[in-house]
Amino acid sequence: MRKFTFSAIMFCLFGFGNIANAQWEWQNPLPQGNTLNSVYFTDANTGFAVGDYGTILKYDGTNWIFQEIGLADDIKSISFYDSNNGLAVGANGTILYYNGLKWIKDVSPTTKKLNSVCILNSNEAWAVGESGTILKWNGNSWGVETTSVTSDEIISVFFIDATHGWALTKTQILFYNGSSWSIQSTATYSTFVGFSLIGLASGWVVTQNGSIYKFNGTEWIYDFSLSENVYSIHFLDANHGWIGAYSKIYEFNGSSWTSQSLNSTFFEIYFQSGNNGWALGASGSIYKYDGTNWQQYSKEISKQNINSIYMLDSINGWAVGDKYTILKHDLNGWSVDTTNPNVVVNFNSVFFTDSSHGWIVGTHNKILKYENGKWIKQTSGAASNSVFNSVYFTDSIHGWAVGNYGLIYKFDGNTWINQSFQNLSTCIESVFMLDSMSGWAVGAKKTIIKYNGTSWEIVEPTGSSYLESVFFTDANNGWAVGYDTLTYKSRILKYIQGTWSSYNTSSIFTNQQYQFLYDIYMNSNNCGWITGINGILLKYDGTNWIQQRKRTYYGLNSVFFTDSLHGWIAGNNGEIMKTSNGGLSIPLAPTNLTLSSQKNILSKMLLSWTDNSNNEDGFRIYRSTDGVNFYEIGTTAANINSYIDSTGAASTLYYYQVTAYNSAGSSTFSNTISGTTTNGINDITQNNAVSIYPNPNNGKFIIEPKNNNRLTNIEVYNSLGEKVLQQNANEIELSASPKGIYIVKISDGVNTYNRRIVLQ
């Protein structure tokens, strides 16, 4: 974070608990579906909200706009002084700084989760988190505050001035007096979830079970109980306060509490005035208060689990799910399909052969057919308790539906015919047909069966794998995905020319216990997608399956592409996302930007950084003379984590930042690093500790120390600052190098010397 240019006391937020070319855009709910943890408004028309999985939203006075920054970490808290200066903190020690134009990832001294941030002035800011972590900004960098007051997770922090600060754990209220932290109060019967202070002698804290305590300047005294679980609190003054709970918001008018029922759990409440407030929470819910009523700003077509999605093209398609959910997509977006013929079941699969012919299957033996613009019931003949899990058609008169207990039915254009066979009783989850004479189906106990044009046969021995989905690109290439019922690890099977083999997934998942894979879609033999539990999204590059950045906590049950660029993923809680660029993600931001010890060679600044992404096209390097206004000075190719700035003026202080980029966009900025250039080539040490002869030369020369030390390392750099040679022998051979000026960096084990040589 850069040093702020202001000195006024800053208000603070405490946490409780579209940029263009976005790779996966939310379609339901809107503007997005992740839990929102914190919000701050700099004025009535400018606000920011942050949440899980790197979510940042910006309010422009009318709409909340999703800002893609390529960050996977949960963001827990945000705080602004004005529209040009803000901080956000979150998981894995994440610290982001906003300068009015862009988010910059700052250097953090911890990898602990940070729950709350508060800025006091240009030289003092605080962030707190798990394991008693307390960080302080001193005007130049973040440092860890050493204190023995607590090792518990700190969930909130707030400062009135430099000598009056509070922090909250689940069981303690901590106080900072300007030099040290101490325990001010302890929870008795429940755990703290949030507090709100409006002055040195006025504040409120609330416990999880709804008990409210009031601060009188000396101690916290029990005030009132709401007798239900609550999650957030905000007071404007002694007569205006709000508390967020499950499906409810409480309001205090100075003497009593009243409530209004709403459809969400509220983890953050923020008010600018008594007539202008916001409440945010689970599943991306956003509500606005106008002084009388709460109005929902976020929108959802459905919150039911979506089990299957099928798109005819980039505009027209359907999605189906639990509790008789049928959604239709057209030019106006997603809407509820109202032509459902009163079938009240869970729908598991949808398939269309063209815009006039489609089928849906689900529980209680239900099959629906789409014709003449509406859905009608079809009789399958299966038992009333039968469950159909998957449906596939090769054309409008050849189709198959499979389900529990070995259920297999074929459609011949008029009726559904039972093709189940006696020695198959396991659940069949997915069917894929190459044509009307050949197809595959998979299911529980590693069931893999093949259709030969007349009947189905088992082709693989049983096992512990539960296969959820199967997909073939042609008769010789196919995939099946699922999980192992004993270890809960992912299972990917590949079919090549008659043989099924297991794909090793151990390198894909390193720290995830449950690895259930639910669906697969292949664009070609060299490109495909897999979805799964807890937002798992994998992409195949022709050789490897690569885990993509998670965008949601909820399971993704279905994936579908109409071409290599346009695809959809859908899952639990009604979530639907779309890509129009083949799912290309904005790269993760580079970190740990540094100036190397070689920065004084020919006044060149040698930058290096940590590459955190696997999909960048390259890196952009930015420079500034004031630490505020940056401009691009160069780029590097992908996987290059260093750059030499050879365009700076001598004896000048420069600031640098780096971003990773690809066609989806640019990452957030790295931390900022600064350094001063030298006076140039004449600054190179000219003492007599070593000699080089001949100089000038034709590329062959000898380095000779003038003391008894032996040479331990020799490095040669060209005029661009690029290293062209490194060795420890004193006879140098550069005959093949271009003519010009070179710098030789010489080490004798004690000292290091720089020398200029000229190749003629």
Q: Which of 439, 337, 339, 351 is nearest to 388 (CA)?
A: 351
14: confidence class by pLDDT, cuts 50, 70, 90? very low
Fold adopted by 29-296: Methylamine Dehydrogenase; Chain H (2.130.10)
Q: How many residues in total does the chain contain? A: 760
148: confidence class by pLDDT, cuts 50, 70, 90? confident
Q: Is the pLDDT of residue 660 over 70?
A: yes
List the CATH code of the domain at 690-759.
2.60.40.10
* Entry pTM: 0.82
| Strands 752-759, 398-403: pairing kind | unpaired
What confidence score (pLDDT) does residue 603 get?
60
pLDDT, tens only, 211-234:
999 999 999 999 999 989 999 999
What confidence score (pLDDT) does residue 7 get?
28
679: confidence class by pLDDT, cuts 50, 70, 90? low
Torsion, CA 66, CA 70, CA 72, CA 78, rounded to 10: -50
pLDDT, tens only, 524-540:
999 999 999 999 999 99
Specify the range with the lowest mean pLDDT, choosing from 117-121, 482-486, 511-515, 566-570.
511-515
pLDDT, tens only, 293-339:
999 999 999 999 999 999 999 999 999 999 999 999 999 999 999 99
Q: Which of 754, 757, 758 is nearest to 604 (CA)?
A: 754
DSSP per-residue string spanning 629-680: S-EEEEEEETT--EEEE--PPTT-EEEEEEEEEETTEE--B---EEEE--S-
Residue pair 118/14 in contact (Cβ under 8 Å)? The answer is yes
Fold adopted by 306-579: Methylamine Dehydrogenase; Chain H (2.130.10)
Q: How many angstroms separate the CA atoms of 364 and 346, rounded?
A: 9
Segment 185-196 shows an average pLDDT of 91
DSSP per-residue string spanning 135-175: EEE-SS-EEEPP--S--SPEEEEEEEETTEEEEEESSEEEE
360 or 679, which is more confident: 360
Q: Is the pLDDT of residue 18 over 80?
A: no
Q: Name beta bridge partners: 244.
A: 232, 249
Give per-residue burial for 598-633: e unless 16+ CB within 10 Å, then b. Answer: bbbbbbbbbbbbebbbebbeebbbbbbeebeebeeb
- Could you give the residue range(s) of every CATH 2.130.10.10 domain in the chain? 29-296, 306-579
Residue pair 660/669 in contact (Cβ under 8 Å)? The answer is no
Q: Is the pLDDT of residue 723 over 90?
A: no
Share of the chain above pLDDT 90, in %: 71
235: confidence class by pLDDT, cuts 50, 70, 90? very high
pLDDT, tens only, 437-468:
999 999 999 999 999 999 999 998 888 999 99
What confidence score (pLDDT) does residue 4 get?
33
614: confidence class by pLDDT, cuts 50, 70, 90? confident
pLDDT, tens only, 254-293:
999 999 999 899 999 999 999 999 999 999 999 999 999 9
Average per-residue pLDDT for the chain: 90
Specify the range with the lowest mean pLDDT, choosing from 362-366, 431-435, 505-509, 749-753.
749-753
Residue pair 144/110 in contact (Cβ under 8 Å)? The answer is yes
Query: What Å distances lie between residue 475 and 112, 500, 542, 583, 715, CA to CA?
Result: 50, 13, 18, 27, 58
Report the first-to-last Cα separation within the chain, whole angstroms: 47
* Three-state DSSP class for residue 501: strand
Task: DSSP letter for 299, please.
Answer: B
Place of tokens 């390097």: 621
Architecture of domain 591-677: Sandwich (2.60)
Place of tokens 């012919």: 357
- Could you give the residue range(s) of every CATH 2.60.40.10 domain in the chain? 591-677, 690-759
Other Cβ atoms less than 10 A from the Cβ of 699: the count is 16
